[in-house]
Amino acid sequence: MAVPDAIAPVAPVISGPCALAGLRDHLVGLDFDRIVLISDEGIAEAGLVERVIHEAIGGRHVEVFLAPPGEPHTVCVDAAADRVRATPHPLVIGLGGGSALDVAKLAAAAAACGGPVGPRLLGAYDWPGRSSTVAIPTTAGTGSEATRTCVVSDDAGRKLWAWGEALLPALVVLAPELTLGLPAHLTAATGVDAFVHAVEAASSRRVTATARAAALDAVTRIAAGLPRVAREPGDLEARLSLQEAARLAGVAIDAAGTGPAHAVGHALGSLYGIPHGVAVGVGLRATLDFSLAAGPEPFAELTQCLDPNAKPDSLPGRVASLYAEAGFDAAAARWAETDVDPEALAACMQGEENLPMAHNGPRSPVGADWERLARSARAVLRGEAPAEGS
């Protein structure tokens, strides 16, 4: 059952095929001197940085900071924050997937504070001020554009998080044409990432009525849209629906948090460098039977979003079918040979950075549950059925 609602702030949105032109018009009314556009090297190589500068920014002065490939690191965030800090009266625009958006959000917040970002992670700092960030996602996945949370790796390889009102973007731009060049395996992995967010938010111990409604809407959109985009990659209507679903799922996890699939996924990312969308997609299949054993109630409406006549005990099979239709299995197969050590994975799942997620689902792991879930994750990653007893 959902807990009493507390309406969290939600960033305003410009969306649709004319969204970039809408951003250009919106910038006219904002108070800033220069723009710092934070993206990554892959987005720049695809020509999207220049496209956004041309279509949305025009003749304004723009500083461009490009993050290296892969998920963000504290060193990259600190370098981006230095660039923002050195720019007079800046507006930060984040362009890219969740990694680029998280770098942009953290850099904008850290620039106002001084000093490195590391000591401010894991909720150790109350970020002052408000965001001056515009988020333009080029995927439909992490929902970073809708959250007050960022994830970043440290020198030890741990995936850590930051939280604060200053990390919520001031504006979101959903331009589906920017997702057209995304390879099929990344479209599948990012779409499944959004799906996992929605499932875990809706079944969270902290879910509110508003968060549940957003999560269920996201599940319905993804179940229809992700296989459709896999079949017809140029379908802009379906791509926009997926972007809206990812944002809704972001709104949901911002209020309700994530769950055990993310504890597994973050551990897989920390130990083996498995990309986030693949890792949490594996994590959901690895933990779903375990969570369902707590009772069907949190999953009844979720299952009906996939099939109005279905029962919760059919959910694991329906999730597996969605993955196959969306092309996720092919994306995950790239990591099938990873030598996962269940004991090490179980230990990482219990790290301070992952434990809150593990305990936010319908059922908390105890004792031997940790290694059973880790063995289940290894089996799913290998393309096998989840381990028995998980």
The pLDDT of residue 31 is: 86
Could you tell me the pLDDT band of residue 1, with boundaries at 50, 70 and 90? Answer: very low
Average pLDDT over residues 142-150: 93
CATH of the structural domain 184-381, one choice from 1.10.3720.10, 3.90.1150.10, 3.40.50.300, 1.20.1090.10: 1.20.1090.10
- Arithmetic mean of pLDDT, 5-13: 74
- Alpha-carbon distance of 49 to 61, in angstroms, equals 14
Task: Please report, as a single letter, which amino acid is at residue 233.
Answer: P
pLDDT, one tens digit per residue, over 249-260 is 999 999 999 999
- Taking only the tens place, the pLDDT of each residue in 69-80 is 888 999 999 999
Q: What is the pLDDT of residues 238-281, one digit of tens each?
A: 999 999 999 999 999 999 999 999 999 999 999 999 999 999 99
- Residue 389's pLDDT band, with cuts at 50, 70 and 90, is low
H/E stretch holding 34: strand 34-40
Helices (H), the chain: 19-27, 41-45, 48-52, 74-85, 98-111, 184-202, 209-231, 236-256, 260-272, 276-292, 300-306, 315-326, 328-333, 342-349, 355-358, 369-381
CATH 3.40.50.1970 residue ranges in the chain? 13-179
Long-range contacts of 298-305 (CB under 8 A, 24+ apart): 298/202, 298/203, 298/207, 298/362, 299/203, 301/202, 301/212, 301/216, 302/199, 302/202, 302/203, 302/215, 302/216, 302/219, 305/216, 305/219, 305/220, 305/223
Cα 211 to Cα 249: distance, rounded to the nearest angstrom: 8
Residue 99 one-letter amino acid: S
Give the span between the Cα atoms of 130 and 251, in whole angstroms. Answer: 18
Separation of CA 112 from chain center: 25
Separation of alpha carbons 138 and 174, rounded Å: 8
Q: What is the pLDDT of residue 112?
A: 85
Q: State the Cα angle at 28 between 27 and 31, rounded to 5°.
A: 75
Q: Which of 60, 114, 105 is nearest to 82 (CA)?
A: 114
Class of the CATH-defined domain 13-179: alpha beta
d(C-alpha 17, C-alpha 35), whole Å: 23
Q: For residue 196, how many other CB atoms are within 10 A of its CB?
A: 29
Tokens coding 190? 């990012």
Q: What is the pLDDT of residues 303-320, one digit of tens each?
A: 999 999 999 999 999 999
Amino acid in position 95? L
Please state, in angstroms and rounded to a whole number, the distance separating the CA atoms of residues 51 and 176.
13
Q: In this model, does residue 390 exceed pLDDT 60?
A: no
Mean pLDDT of the chain: 93
Single out the residue of 325, 340, 346 nearest to residue 380, CA to CA: 340
The pair of structure tokens assigned to 286 is 């690895």
DSSP for 115-170 reads S-SGGG-TT-----S---EEEEESSSSS-GGG-SEEEEE-TT--EEEEE-GGGS-S
pLDDT at 3 > cutoff 90: no
Predicted pLDDT at 69: 85
CA distance linking residue 118 with residue 150, whole number of Å? 12
**What are the tens digits of pLDDT across the range 57-110?**
987 899 999 999 888 999 999 999 999 999 999 999 999 999 999 999 999 999
3-state secondary structure of 351: coil
The Cα-based distances of 87 to 72, 134, 339 in angstroms read: 22, 16, 45
CATH 1.20.1090.10 domain locations along the chain:
184-381
Average pLDDT over residues 156-170: 89
pLDDT at 131: 67
What is the residue type of 105?
A: K
Cβ-contact 228, 197 below 8 angstroms: no
Confidence of residue 124 (pLDDT cuts 50, 70, 90): low
Query: Across residues 141-164, what is the average pLDDT?
Result: 90
**Do 83 and 125 form a contact (C-beta atoms < 8 A)?**
no
